[in-house]
């Protein structure tokens, strides 16, 4: 009888351990096709309480958000799939559970793990990573000692506190204006690198080589000629305002190849 009690205690203990190790997952996710095409917000936003939202996002952009830590920063690194993968837009709202991160990078990895599971479950995505040699940029600090510019500082916000971080936003974007401003809080250098790859002067994967850890609040103001389409001034603004610069390289980078995928069942 004593032996049975001990085995019962072991079974209960292991069950509790396994429950504590459950991977992060969405409690519930609403996916609706956006019937009116619009200028998309091509990123998933994470709000306080691990709430996820995405508006007017394509599947290709959602895949990019899920695999950005795997080096998938540009839509050109997502290969294959039918036309709707990069054209049809969706609105998503979800709530994540089982997050046990102790650092911002851990939290991002767990969120992306959950997004990958969502893609496999709701979009039936099957894919694999491959390699291509491509031109890239490396993000480095101008100052070898790591001193940063006047418009960036270590962040004091958290994504689960009473003062949640402000997600990426652009202001002053208009054909009749000659400046725009990027503002964000609580962003890691790898996240920032992924956020600027689509600027017309860049359009390459960016590897974070700054050596900076933690998260940052930053404001990046870009001045450019009216109606400009290929010059936002970001290459000169980065060192002046943030103390960062981009150095060109060629390197073997990851691409994600879509093997199969299906439109989701909306709810």
- Kindly give the confidence (pLDDT) of every residue in the chain, 267 residues in length, as a single tens digit, with 9 standing for 90 and above: 544 444 444 444 344 433 345 778 888 889 999 877 666 566 788 887 888 888 889 999 999 999 988 889 888 899 999 999 999 999 999 998 877 766 777 788 888 999 999 999 999 999 999 998 989 999 999 998 889 999 999 988 765 555 567 666 665 444 455 778 888 888 889 889 988 988 889 999 999 999 999 889 999 988 765 555 567 889 999 999 999 999 999 999 999 999 999 999 878
Count the domains in the chain.
1
Reduced to 3 states (helix: H, G, I; strand: E, B; else coil), residue 32 is: strand
Q: C-alpha angle with apex 22: 260 to 31, nearest 5 degrees? A: 45
Whether residue 50 is contained in a domain is answered as yes
Handedness of CA 57, 58, 59, 63 (dihedral sign): negative
Residues 56/32, Cβ–Cβ less than 8 Å = no
Sheet of strand 45-47: strand arrangement? 25-33, 89-97, 51-58, 45-47
Whether residue 110 is contained in a domain is answered as yes
Whether residue 18 is contained in a domain is answered as yes
Euclidean distance between CA atoms 80 and 259, whole angstroms: 7
Euclidean distance between CA atoms 257 and 244, whole angstroms: 32
Reduced to 3 states (helix: H, G, I; strand: E, B; else coil), residue 37 is: coil
Whether residue 33 is contained in a domain is answered as yes
Euclidean distance between CA atoms 36 and 47, whole angstroms: 25
Report how far Cα 142 is from the mean position of its chain's Cα atoms. 25
Q: At what angle do helices 59-67 and 104-122 cross, to 10 degrees?
A: 140
Whether residue 233 is contained in a domain is answered as yes
Whether residue 266 is contained in a domain is answered as no
16: part of which helix (H) or strand (E)?
helix 2-20
Residue ranges of E strands in 71-125: 78-79, 89-97
Instruction: Please report, for residues 43, 45, 49, 71, 96, the alpha-carbon distance to residue 26 in angstroms, rounded to integers and kept in the order given.
Output: 18, 14, 12, 23, 4
pLDDT score at 187: 87
Structural domain harbouring 170:
2-260
Whether residue 265 is contained in a domain is answered as no
Whether residue 81 is contained in a domain is answered as yes
Among candidates 58, 44, 70, which has minimal Cα distance to 159?
A: 44
């Amino acid at each position: 009888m004593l032996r049975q009690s001990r085995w019962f205690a072991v079974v209960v203990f292991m069950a509790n351990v396994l429950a504590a190790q459950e991977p992060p997952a969405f409690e519930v996710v609403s996916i609706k096709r956006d019937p009116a095409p619009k200028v998309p917000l091509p990123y998933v936003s994470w709000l306080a309480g691990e709430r996820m939202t995405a508006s007017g996002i394509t599947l290709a952009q959602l895949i990019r958000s899920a695999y950005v830590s795997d080096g998938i920063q540009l839509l050109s690194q997502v290969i294959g799939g039918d036309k709707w993968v990069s054209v049809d837009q969706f609105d998503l709202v979800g709530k994540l559970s089982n997050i046990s991160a102790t650092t911002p990078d851990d939290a991002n990895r767990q969120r992306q793990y959950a997004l990958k599971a969502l893609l496999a479950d709701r979009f039936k995505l099957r894919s694999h990573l491959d390699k291509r040699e491509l031109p890239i940029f490396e993000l480095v600090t101008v100052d070898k000692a790591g001193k940063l510019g006047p418009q960036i500082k270590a962040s004091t916000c958290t994504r689960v506190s009473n003062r949640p971080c402000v997600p990426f936003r652009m202001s002053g974007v208009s054909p009749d204006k000659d400046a725009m401003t990027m503002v964000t809080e609580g962003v890691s250098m790898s996240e920032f690198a992924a956020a600027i790859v689509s600027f017309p002067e860049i359009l390459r994967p960016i590897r974070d080589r700054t050596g900076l850890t933690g998260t940052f609040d930053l404001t990046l103001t870009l001045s450019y000629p009216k109606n400009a389409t290929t010059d936002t001034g970001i290459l000169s603004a980065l060192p002046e305002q943030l103390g960062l610069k981009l150095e060109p390289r060629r390197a073997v980078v990851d691409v994600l190849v879509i093997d199969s995928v299906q439109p989701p069942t909306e709810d």
